[in-house]
Structure 1
Amino acid sequence: MGNEIKIASINITNLSKTDLLHYHLFPRLNRQQKCMVVLANLLLLLETTDNQAYKEIIEQADYVLPASKGIILAAKNRKQTFHEQIDSVALMIDLLKFAEVQGLSCYFLGGKDYINEKLILEIEKQFPRLIIAGHQHGAFEPTDSLIMENVRVKNADIVFVSLQGNSQEEWMANIFASCKKGLFIGVDESFDILAGEMKRTPDLLNNLNLGWLYRMVAKPSRIKNAGKSQRMIKNILLGKD
Structure 2
Amino acid sequence: MTDASYQLGIRQPLYGLLVNAMTMEQVLEEAAQHAADRSRFLIGVVNAAKIVKLRKDALLRESLLVPDVVLADGQAVVWASRLLGHPLPERVAGIDLFERLLALADDERRSVYFLGARQEVLEAMVERVRSRYPKLVIAGYRDGYFPSDESAAVAAAIEATGADMLFLGMTTPKKEIFLAEHGESLGVPIQHGVGGSFDILAGITKRAPERWQRMGLEWAYRLLQEPRRLFARYASTNAAFIALTVRERFRPTAPYRLTGASAEQED
Compute the displacement of 1:59 (Å): 0.8
Q: Distance in 1 between matches of 2:35 and 2:230?
A: 34
Compute the displacement of 1:137 (Å): 1.4
Structure 2 runs not aligned, ≥5 long: 1-7, 254-267
Out of 6, 10, 14, the position equivalent to 2:17 is 10
Out of 199, 211, 233, the position equivalent to 2:242 is 233
Compute the displacement of 1:82 (Å): 1.5
Q: Distance in 2 between matches of 1:148 and 1:224?
A: 35
TM-score of the aligned structures, taking structure 2 as reference length:
0.82
Q: Which amino acid aligns with 1:228?
A: T
Compute the displacement of 1:132 (Å): 0.2
* Structure 2 contact 42–191 (Cα < 8 Å) conserved: yes
Q: Which has the larger radius of gyration?
A: 2
Residue 174, structure 1, aligned to residue 219, structure 2: no
Out of 161, 172, 176, the position equivalent to 1:165 is 172
* Structure 2 contact 72–91 (Cα < 8 Å) conserved: yes
TM-score of the aligned structures, taking structure 1 as reference length:
0.90
Match of 1:120 in 2: 126
Change (3 A) 1:75 1:172: same
Q: Distance in 2 between matches of 1:111 and 1:223?
A: 23
Q: Within 5 Å, which residues of 2 pair with 1:1-241?
A: 1-22=8-29, 24-144=30-150, 145-218=152-225, 221-223=229-231, 225-226=233-234, 227-239=236-248
Q: Distance in 2 between matches of 1:221 and 1:140?
A: 25
* Structure 1 contact 17–86 (Cα < 8 Å) conserved: yes
Q: Which amino acid aligns with 1:158?
A: M
Q: Which amino acid aligns with 1:150?
A: A
Identity %: 20
Q: Which has the higher contact order (CA 8 A, sep 6+)?
A: 2
Compute the displacement of 1:42 (Å): 1.2
* Structure 2 contact 106–133 (Cα < 8 Å) conserved: yes
Q: Distance in 2 between matches of 1:222 and 1:187?
A: 20
Structure 1 runs not aligned, ≥5 long: none
CA displacement, residues 166-200 of structure 1 (integer Å, 9 cap, x when unaligned):
00100111211222332110111211111111122
Instruction: Using the TM superposition, name which of 42-51 and 183-192 deviates more.
Output: 42-51
Compute the displacement of 1:165 (Å): 2.1
